[in-house]
Structure 1
């Protein structure tokens, strides 16, 4: 590589120089100018992908590999070969985007090979928006930097460099992620026909916008710091460079870029960052983060068709693939619904039914409800949904009819709305349709933490059983995923504001929390007690039959199961 280039101080090579048609050669010149060692194999591989990659691409490389510096050199190379290009640099923070464009401008000012690209008289010449000398008149600068929350429209670009547009500060909650997702859609309004968008970044969780970009036609290429133990985790997105190392016999844990980060260096960084931090920042592996971050998993539930009056007295959970249900699933990747592995043939009537309601003001969120029944330590979710009419007559009547349909023994209402006004409106309607006790509950704990603390233990013990019809209705009932119960369940974290909407999940937690004391009952003991009551009843029936037939002159043999 180095032998192909003759570097002459103070001499500008023509853009048409065939040597410079390969960006890797130009990258060598930039590193030489910066008094850096020759680019590493990974940096050369990044350079090749920048030059020949698709029009929509995502580069994920471990922290410290120099992807921003390589890309800044790429911007200079693009302008060297075509000064008429307009390039926009976008970052989560405006100062980061400005730093990118400032570094690019310094390279143009300092490198002899780029001297002719310096802004001329009458051209834009600031660090955040500048023209290159040979560029023709244009409303858009040759290079412009902007924050993701700034004014994206108003300029046009042939190339958009999205350098770390996602950060912890703008992607911590669902609302923030949705807003960020909408902002990056504006790239298409800025991009010229045939233009290119290149993302540089590190995903923080599976909910990262980067992992959703393939749905919009983007290709993701990943360079982790080490050879991963399980390449399949990366879903075919590992760079071919890394896959060749694996095919050449490089074992798990081998440094991918040993010239910059040797094994001891990576071990020190892992000790400093911690396992989860290292997995994210250096291995670009979100699986550990998602496992810890999202506590409620569908695979911990049992899903089956439930009878409205009775349920099996005992169930057994399993997550075997042959028990997986093929129904709409909005959870995280790898999660799934499962049928019970076994259900007792004996059935019994539910011992209780509670309806939880979270009221909302008119025109605001839904008035959400959940109905949960109890039997022998298992909780059965038989209904969930919401009304958009706030506290209107139709909503009040609908709730009362649902309570009657499912035989609710009690209704609990979140009292934080209107200081109990909703309860007062609901009482006369309920007394007319389905007279049942209504109790108000107040919460002062952080909502997300309370929901997780209530549901996670019950789900981890596999005590929560869903009627399959509830899940299907939840999926069909609204076109907005954020309003679906199962979407909210799979996306909640203990972080404040982690969900844009949490009404349906909140009422489910209220209903489950009501039965918390009953959950302490041992299910095996409850099953045995139920069988014992059945035996006692059968024995009493047999004794009665014996007496009745003895008085009639018949002889009855005692059944063997009573011995």
Structure 2
């Protein structure tokens, strides 16, 4: 068989189809030809990745008719598109005609090329990612846009997707290849995991350089601004230099001055495919995006959900200091940096006795008299709820870990959510406190009503008001295989419409926030109330002498 590179094979077909081939398409060709055993290709929507994949599959079968490709899409119909596209390339490509490499038998779901010696597994086998392919075998498995909202909308759906992907390990013939192609649709993106597995990656964003500003009238970038967008959705606008803003170059820095203040500004460099995606086209696409997350994920390939995040953890304010007890004027005060702490709440949400709970979560929140809430500790207690020595004395367990926390921060009261475990945990904690000689009140709380509603009511207000702070210990404990902490992941993945989801840390935090009453801070006590005129008459001033002899 004649040897030909994929780039040459692609250019021959592009000439037959009268395509204009941008330079980055040739970069994609070089990547696909040699991506090794695990590859990740990410491109913005509309940049031809599926079309290139059709030609690539034809090239692989042209080079080796015995090559077996399992192509999986989000659904069966999605996978069939590539199957039909590959068949069309083989029917039209001159090299396939010369060497008589074409479809010999089979249907859209599975078909064989002439020269294939495998009678069981098709040269092309196209199925949806959730379809049953247990008995399949392949030299190359392609996952084309398998991450879509319908496949990752719930924890159960995400788990099912990961299970189907894990099955591919047993389908792939030893020494085979696995390719992932698509755009992210969530923070916990499949493609982020693939990168961490050491995949060879080619990630081409719509705009190579980007910078975002909020509530600005001036901005500074280290690259030349080519596209400057204001807002998102129907109110968005592509600003024009000279009309809406002005640019001054000072050294290597570009200073942008706007004619008016904008709540959201995105500044970008030149577009990846500027000939096709003109400023007019990009302005239309920007207006059609409902959320900024949709724009970021589908065009800039950031791992974000298509919709808005209801409780965005990035709105929490990080801090890294510890509280200090001081004695002044004969009494103790607690200071966190320069802020006086007037309350501490500790909430324990045990997992024991609950059907769908994995974490025995504890949240410690500090409160100052300005109304700020400081999420100081977020801990998952481990092991048995309580353990005893041979004499029956409490000497360990989750309650012992709680005592350490209570003692460290001089906590005066702890609230325990008793749903699922009755009075067992509170009684065990009281026993541990007595054994440790620690004075601390234990309050039992049985939660009622919808949990998602409780979480939103407790956290959304402080979060949007800038009153919720978070200690770096909560941020800097990433879950294994993740970029951020499990607490942040729960915030980002929280969906009020889903009843069963991972929210143990959020639930304990919500309880700790509402356990302390809201205060009217010092800033509100500086102004005296407006006094009304006293229009009521009086009887004047009377002097009276009193004699108590």
How far apart are residue 191 of structure 1 and its match? Answer: 2.7
Report 1:18-167 matches (<5 A).
21-31=4-14, 35=17, 37-109=19-91, 113-114=95-96, 116-120=100-104, 125-167=106-148
SS in 1 for 2:149: coil
Question: Does structure 1 residue 283 correspond to structure 2 residue 300?
Answer: yes
Question: Does structure 1 residue 454 correspond to structure 2 residue 458?
Answer: yes
SS in 2 for 1:199: strand
Looking at secondary structure, tell me which structure has more strand per residue: 2
Report 1:388-537 matches (<5 A).
389=384, 398=400, 401=403, 405=407, 408-414=411-417, 417-418=419-420, 422-423=422-423, 426=426, 430=430, 433=434, 436=441, 438-445=443-450, 447=452, 450-451=454-455, 454-455=458-459, 457-458=461-462, 471=474, 486-488=487-489, 491-497=492-498, 500-518=501-519, 520-522=520-522
- What is the rounded CA distance, in whole Å, between the counterparts of 1:382 and 1:206 in structure 2? 23
Q: Is the 8 A contact 1:31 1:39 kept in 2?
A: yes
Question: Does structure 1 residue 267 correspond to structure 2 residue 283?
Answer: yes
Report 1:535-546 matches (<5 A).
none
Question: Does structure 1 residue 370 correspond to structure 2 residue 374?
Answer: no
Residue among 336, 350, 354 paired with 2:345: 354
How many residues are matched? 448
SS in 2 for 1:507: helix
Any idea what the Cα deviations from partners look like across 1:347-401, whole Å, max 9, x if unmatched? x7x6444332324443753443334454534545367433555799977965885
- What is the rounded CA distance, in whole Å, between the counterparts of 1:383 and 1:28 in structure 2? 56
- What is the rounded CA distance, in whole Å, between the counterparts of 1:262 and 1:22 in structure 2? 31
Any idea what the Cα deviations from partners look like across 1:180-225, whole Å, max 9, x if unmatched? 3454344333333432222210112443111222211112222333
- What is the rounded CA distance, in whole Å, between the counterparts of 1:133 and 1:404 in structure 2? 74
Q: Is the 8 A contact 1:362 1:391 kept in 2?
A: no
SS in 1 for 2:313: coil
Q: Is the 8 A contact 1:172 1:498 kept in 2?
A: no
1:24/1:523 Cα in 2 relative to 1: closer, same or farther (>3 Å)?
same
Question: Does structure 1 residue 212 correspond to structure 2 residue 193?
Answer: yes
1:275/1:44 Cα in 2 relative to 1: closer, same or farther (>3 Å)?
farther
Residue among 370, 382, 386 paired with 2:381: 386
Which residue number corresponds to residue 7 of structure 1?
none
- What is the rounded CA distance, in whole Å, between the counterparts of 2:70 and 2:178 in structure 1? 10
How far apart are residue 100 of structure 1 and its match? Answer: 1.6
Looking at secondary structure, tell me which structure has more helix per residue: 1
TM-score, with normalisation over the residues of structure 1?
A: 0.65
1:523/1:187 Cα in 2 relative to 1: closer, same or farther (>3 Å)?
farther
Q: Is the 8 A contact 2:183 2:298 kept in 1?
A: yes
Which residue number corresponds to residue 321 of structure 2?
304
Q: Is the 8 A contact 1:370 1:511 kept in 2?
A: yes
Q: Is the 8 A contact 1:125 1:131 kept in 2?
A: yes
1:49/1:516 Cα in 2 relative to 1: closer, same or farther (>3 Å)?
farther
SS in 2 for 1:195: strand
Q: Is the 8 A contact 2:71 2:79 kept in 1?
A: yes
1:425/1:28 Cα in 2 relative to 1: closer, same or farther (>3 Å)?
closer
- What is the rounded CA distance, in whole Å, between the counterparts of 2:477 and 2:24 in structure 1? 45
- What is the rounded CA distance, in whole Å, between the counterparts of 1:208 and 1:480 in structure 2? 12
Flag structure 2 segments of 5+ consecutive residues without an equivalent: 213-266, 389-393, 527-549
1:114/1:442 Cα in 2 relative to 1: closer, same or farther (>3 Å)?
same
Q: RMSD between aligned alpha carbons?
A: 4.4
How far apart are residue 177 of structure 1 and its match? Answer: 3.9
